[in-house]
């Protein structure tokens, strides 16, 4: 198996080329049944499994209670299953199916944008000054924690205030005959 041959996990961790080739072969064989499902991610999963194995060995997670080959096999299987679960939870959109606007804006869209900005400014100006200040802070990129320290209230209280201000803005927008987007 390896030049040293006595302790394959230690040989792998020590960087013995024979041990690395052997362990990578085990990972590839264990991952093989998932190859079609993983598609172009197969090589990434193999590398992820090898990195995870290296970290596990450094953290002494393999205690030698079973065979090292069995440990590698299980780790590779789990890496494949985890990747497939992550991929399944993502929603992919085919770019060709998107209805994207042309690169140059049409005169109509420019007018519509100006109208939308005008409507938002009108609603913004109807809000109490406290709400306007909160929205200004958010637009400046301040965190709730930063704003809460400036105002002198708890971050949770500030979140509630922002939610109420947003609801008030939505109410004003609806009363103007507009619908929430």
**What are the structure tokens assigned to 89, written together?**
């939870």
H or E element, residue 133: helix 129-139
Residue 15 pLDDT greater than 60, yes or no:
yes
| Residue 167 domain-assigned (yes or no) | yes
| Residue 25 domain-assigned (yes or no) | yes
Residues 18 and 78 grouped into a single domain:
yes
Residues 150 and 84 grouped into a single domain:
no
pLDDT confidence band for 79 (50 / 70 / 90): very high
Ranking 17-21, 109-113, 117-121, 148-152 by mean pLDDT, the lowest is 109-113
| Residue 109 domain-assigned (yes or no) | no
Residues 78 and 34 grouped into a single domain:
yes
Residues 35 and 81 grouped into a single domain:
yes
pTM over 0.85: no
Spatial separation of the C-alpha atoms in residues 115 and 121, rounded to whole Å: 10
Spatial separation of the C-alpha atoms in residues 68 and 66, rounded to whole Å: 7
* Structural domain containing residue 56: 8-89
């Amino acid at each position: 198996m390896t030049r040293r041959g006595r302790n394959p996990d230690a040989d792998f961790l020590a960087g013995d080329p024979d041990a690395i080739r052997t362990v990578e072969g085990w990972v590839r064989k264990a991952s093989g049944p998932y190859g079609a499902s993983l598609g172009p991610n197969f090589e990434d999963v193999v590398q992820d499994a090898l990195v995870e194995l290296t970290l596990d060995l450094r953290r002494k997670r393999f205690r030698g209670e079973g065979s090292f080959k069995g440990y590698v096999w299980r780790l590779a299987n789990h890496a494949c299953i985890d990747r497939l679960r992550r991929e399944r939870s993502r929603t992919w959109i085919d770019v060709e199916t998107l209805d994207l606007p042309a690169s140059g804006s049409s005169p109509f869209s420019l007018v519509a944008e100006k109208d939308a900005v005008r409507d938002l400014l009108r609603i913004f100006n109807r809000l109490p000054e406290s709400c306007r200040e909160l929205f200004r802070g958010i637009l400046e990129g301040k965190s709730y924690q930063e704003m809460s320290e400036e105002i002198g209230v708890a971050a949770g209280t500030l979140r509630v205030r922002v939610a109420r201000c947003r609801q008030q803005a939505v109410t004003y927008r609806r009363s103007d005959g507009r619908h929430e987007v």
